[in-house]
Amino acid sequence: MADYTTVGKSVKKIDALSLAMGTEPFTADYPLDSPLVLKFMYSDLAHADIVSLDASRAEALDGVAGVFHFWNCPDTFYTTAGQGYPEPSAYDNRLFDHKVRFVGDRICMVAAETSEIAEEAISLIDLEMDPLPALFDPELARDPDSPRLHADGEYMPIPVRYQPEENVCAGLNIPLGDVESGMKEADFIVEHRYTTHQASHAAMEPHVVACYLDPRDRVVLVTATQVPFHVRRIVGRVLDIPIQRIRVIKPRIGGGFGGKQEVLLEPYAALATLRTGRSTFCEFTRSEVFVSSRTRHPMRVDFKMGVKNNGEITALVMDALMDSGAYGSHGLTVLSNAGAKVLPLFNKIPNMLFTGSSVYTNLPVGGAYRGYGATQSYFGFNQHIDMIARKLGVDFLDYCKKWHIKEGETSDIFRILGEGKEGVSQVIGSCGLGECIDVGAAAIGWKEKRGRKQRGANGAIRGVGAAVMMQGSGIPKIDMGGASIKLNEDGSFNLAVGATDLGTGSDTILIQIAAEALKAPPEKFEILSSDTDLTPFDVGAYASSTTYISGGAVKKCALAMLDQLQSVAAEALEVDKETLRHEPECFTDPASGKSFTFEQIGYRSFYAVNQAQLQANASHTSDVSPPPFLAQFAEVEVDPETGVVRVVEFVSAVDCGQPINPILAEGQVEGAAVNGISFALSEQFVFNRDGRVTNAAFGRYGIYTTADMPRMQTFLVPTDEENGPFGAKSVGEIAINGPAPAIANAIFDAVGIRLYDLPMTPERVFQALQESRSQEEPSA
- Give contact residues for other proteins (rule: CB under 8 A): 10, 12-13, 15-17, 19-26, 28-29, 201-206, 252-255, 257, 283, 285-286, 502-505, 663-664, 666-667, 670-675, 697-699, 703-707, 709, 712, 714
Nearer Cβ to other proteins (177/662): 662
Smaller CB separation from other proteins, 39 or 94: 39
Q: How far is the CB of 96 from other proteins (least distance, A)?
A: 26
CA distance 333 to 368: 9
Enumerate residues 6+ apart whose C-beta is below 8 A from 185. Answer: 306, 308, 314, 315
Choose between 310 and 705: whose C-beta lies nearer to other proteins.
705
Contacts of 285 (CB under 8 A, 6+ apart): 206
Residue 675 CB, shortest distance to other proteins, in Å, is 7
Residue closer to other proteins, measured from CB, 115 or 615: 115
User: Among 704, 705, 699, 685, which residue's Cα sits nearest to residue 292?
Assistant: 685
Nearer to other proteins, 169 or 202 (CB): 202
Residue 443 has, within 13 A of its CA and on its CB side, a CA count of: 22
Q: Which residues contact 239 (CB under 8 A, 6 or more apart)?
A: 74, 267, 270, 271, 274
Q: Which is nearer to other proteins, 412 or 683 (CB)?
A: 683
Q: How far is the CB of 190 from other proteins (least distance, A)?
A: 33
CB of 202 to other proteins, least distance (A): 5
143 or 523: whose CB is closer to other proteins? Answer: 523
Q: For residue 97, what are the contacts with CB-CB under 8 A and spacing of at least 6?
A: 50, 70, 152
Report, in Å, the least distance between residue 204 CB and other proteins: 4
Q: What's CA 766's distance to the chain center, in Å?
A: 33
Question: Whole-angstrom Cα distance, residue 457 to residue 22?
Answer: 44
- Tell me how far, at minimum, the Cβ of 284 lies from other proteins, in Å: 11
Q: Could you tell me the smallest distance in angstroms from the CB atom of residue 670 to other proteins? A: 4
> Which residues are bridge partners to 657 per DSSP?
728
* Cα–Cα dist 491/502, whole Å: 29
Min dist CB 102 to other proteins, Å, is 22
Query: Distance between alpha carbon 174 and the CA centroid of its chain, in Å?
Result: 24
Task: Name the residue nearer to other proteins (CB basis): 361 or 506.
Answer: 506
Q: Which residues pair with 194 in a beta bridge?
A: 301
Smallest distance from other proteins to CB 37, Å: 13
Kindly tell me which of 67 and 630 has the beta carbon lying closer to other proteins.
630
Q: Toward other proteins, which CB reaches closer, 315 or 669?
A: 669
Q: How far is the CB of 103 from other proteins (least distance, A)?
A: 20
Closest CB 367 distance from other proteins, rounded Å = 16
* Beta carbon nearer to other proteins, 11 or 755: 11
Residue 456 or residue 752: which is nearer to other proteins going by CB? Answer: 456
Q: Tell me the three state secondary structure of residue 36.
A: strand
CA dist 432 and 439 (Å) reads 11
* The residue count for the chain: 780
Is the CB of 688 or the CB of 705 nearer to other proteins?
Answer: 705
Amino acid in position 352? M
Least Å distance between CB 10 and other proteins? Answer: 7
Other CB atoms within a 10 A radius of the CB of residue 474 amount to 30
Question: First vs last Cα of the chain: how many Å apart?
Answer: 67
CA distance 565 to 623: 30
User: Is the omega angle on the peptide bond into residue 759 within 30 degrees of 0, that is, cis?
Assistant: yes
State which residue, 322 or 673, has the beta carbon closest to other proteins.
Answer: 673
Report DSSP state, residue 364.
Answer: P
Question: Residue 306 CB, nearest distance to other proteins (Å)?
Answer: 38
In angstroms, what CA-CA distances link 332 with 292, 367, 390? 21, 10, 34
What is the closest distance, in whole angstroms, from the C-beta atom of residue 625 to other proteins in the complex? 24
Closest to other proteins by CB, 226 vs 588, is 226
**Least distance CB 238 / other proteins (angstroms):** 28
Least spacing, CB of residue 485 vs other proteins, in Å: 26
Alpha-carbon distance values, 683 to 184, 296, 325, 740 (Å): 41, 12, 18, 12
**Helix (H) or strand (E) run with residue 228 in it:** helix 228-239
Closest CA to 317 of 139, 160, 176, 469: 176
**358 vs 167: CA distance, rounded Å:** 8
Ordered DSSP codes for 55-84: -HHHHHSTTEEEEE-GGGS----B--B--S
Q: Which is nearer to other proteins, 13 or 462 (CB)?
A: 13
| Contact (CB, 8 A) for 90 and 96 | no
Contacts of 7 (CB under 8 A, 6+ apart): 512, 513, 516, 658, 660, 726, 728
Q: What CA–CA distance (Å, rounded) separates 123 from 41?
A: 9
In the complex, the smallest distance separating the C-beta of residue 520 from other proteins, rounded to whole angstroms, is 22
Contact predicate 192/382, CB 8 Å = no
Residue 762, amino acid: P
Nearest approach, Cβ of residue 503 and other proteins (Å): 3
* Residue 476, Cβ density class (10 Å: 0-12 exposed, 13-18 middle, ≥19 buried): buried
Please answer whether residues 304 and 191 qualify as being in contact, where contact means their C-beta atoms are separated by less than 8 angstroms.
yes
Q: What is the DSSP pairing of strand 351-360 with strand 168-176?
A: antiparallel
- Residue with Cβ nearer other proteins (66 or 254): 254
Q: Please state whether the peptide bond connecting residue 35 to the residue before it is cis, i.e. omega within 30 degrees of 0.
A: no
- Closer to other proteins at the Cβ: 254 or 691? 254
